[in-house]
């Protein structure tokens, strides 16, 4: 029983020190956002510049899903229903790719990451599924609930990429819509990169990481080796004194 308790004690201490030295890492699935700080950040349909879908509104955010070489696969907007003047507005998320160089990664969760904006179109406004504008797919009137995603120029003509009736994504010419009048995101912008930032001389992250890693290895060796020796000692079979059988005949006893 004492051996069992000792073993439990040893392994409990090992677990405790391991947990202290190697705390659980943040899950890769933890939500992270990136902010749009310019007017030229496209959401692409694939991880290349040949498939732009629309320009994401400046100062708003995208949610990062995964990395893909020079791009992030991201999500813009979210599935959400809003009631406005008795009218249900259905928002839908849209996924695609953004260049890494176009994004400012955030270490916080924004309160209002996406622009929620309803545009008003004129009667007879035409909707095109494809940026090729090969055919008119939808006709809208001024009362239709149409959600704005972003801008896109086609043949030097400005179009808006929108979500109509909560399910139809398409391009509508800006000339067939009332002028946009949304506000920028109110979150404070990052420090202007042109302003000098005083950085104290400290050990570089690489050196810190390397030193920390060596320290952890040393701690593990210090803790694990003695624990293994102690465990082996506890389970080491003890030598028993062999008693001569009193009924065993040995002729030497009678010389």
pLDDT of residue 252: 53
- Distance, CA of 27 to CA of 33 (rounded, Å): 15
Q: How confident is the model at residue 3 (pLDDT cuts 50, 70, 90)?
A: low
Q: What is the pLDDT of residues 86-141, one digit of tens each?
A: 788 899 999 999 999 999 999 999 999 999 999 999 999 999 999 999 999 999 99
DSSP 177: B
For the cut 70, the answer to whether the pLDDT of residue 31 exceeds it is yes
Q: What is the pLDDT of residues 199-247, one digit of tens each?
A: 334 333 443 344 445 555 555 566 656 666 666 665 556 555 545 444 4
Between 23 and 136, whose confidence is greater? Answer: 136
Cβ neighbors of 156 (< 8 A, separation 6 or more) are none
Burial annotation 199-221 (CB, 10 A radius, 16+ → b, else e): eeeeeeeeeeeeeeeeeeeeeee
pLDDT of residue 202: 37
- Give percent of the chain above pLDDT 70: 63
Q: At what angle do helices 2-21 and 205-234 cross, to 10 degrees?
A: 180
Q: What is the pLDDT of residues 159-185, one digit of tens each?
A: 999 999 999 999 999 999 999 999 999
pLDDT of residue 58: 96
pLDDT of residue 147: 96
- From 20-24, 83-87, 89-93, the region with the lowest mean pLDDT: 20-24
Between 249 and 196, whose confidence is greater? Answer: 249
Contact 188, 106 (CB under 8 A): no
């Amino acid at each position: 029983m004492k051996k069992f308790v000792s073993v439990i004690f040893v392994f409990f201490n090992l677990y405790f020190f391991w947990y202290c030295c190697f705390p659980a890492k943040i899950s890769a699935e933890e939500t992270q956002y990136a902010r749009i700080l310019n007017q030229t950040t496209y959401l692409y349909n694939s991880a290349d510049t040949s498939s732009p879908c629309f320009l994401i509104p400046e100062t708003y955010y995208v949610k990062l899903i995964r990395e893909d070489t020079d791009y992030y696969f991201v999500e813009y907007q979210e599935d959400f229903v809003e009631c406005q003047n008795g009218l249900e507005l259905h928002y839908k998320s849209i996924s695609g790719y953004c260049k890494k160089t176009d994004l400012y990664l955030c270490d916080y969760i924004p309160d209002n990451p996406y622009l929620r904006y309803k545009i008003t179109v004129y009667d007879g406004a035409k909707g095109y599924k494809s940026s090729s504008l090969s055919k008119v797919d939808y006709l809208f009137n001024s009362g239709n609930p149409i959600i704005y995603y972003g801008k896109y120029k086609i043949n030097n003509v400005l179009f808006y990429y929108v979500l109509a009736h909560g399910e139809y994504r398409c391009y509508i010419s800006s000339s067939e819509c009332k002028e946009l009048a949304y506000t920028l995101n109110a979150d404070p912008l990052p420090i202007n990169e042109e302003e000098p930032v005083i950085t104290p001389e400290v050990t570089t992250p690489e050196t810190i990481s390397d030193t920390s890693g060596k320290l952890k290895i040393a701690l593990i060796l210090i803790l694990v080796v003695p624990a293994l020796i102690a465990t082996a000692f506890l389970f080491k079979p003890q030598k028993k004194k062999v008693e001569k059988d009193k009924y065993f005949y040995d002729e030497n006893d009678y010389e």
